[in-house]
Structure 1
């Protein structure tokens, strides 16, 4: 049973994240030749104040004028 965990900064709309989960599940099932019903995909959203890239919190990026950094 394949299990995929996606960690991402919170803030995207729910429908977008749900579509990502579906697409990932389908891709994993296809590429691993596994039944789709056996694939588990979970998204863990992290508060922007608890995600730091290069010493800059994601929640501070807009306030500091730092360019966006991919998580």
Structure 2
């Protein structure tokens, strides 16, 4: 059973996350010849204060 873990910065609309899950599932299913029912996609949204870019929290870097 393929399990895909995706970490993204929080703040995207729920419909974007839903689309991401569907498209990743489709791609993995096609590439591995795995039934979609056996594929799990876990999306973890990380607060920008907890995501570092070049030593700086993303919440500060993107200002």
TM-score (norm 1): 0.84
- Structure 1 residue runs without a partner (length 5+): 64-71
The RMSD of aligned alpha carbons is 0.8
Q: How many residues align?
A: 63
TM-score (norm 2): 0.94
- Structure 2 residue runs without a partner (length 5+): none
Which portions of structure 1, spanning 4 or more consecutive aligned residues, are displaced by more than 6 angstroms?
none
Structure 1 counterpart of 2:58: 58
If asked which structure has higher relative contact order (CA below 8 Å, sep 6+), I would say 2
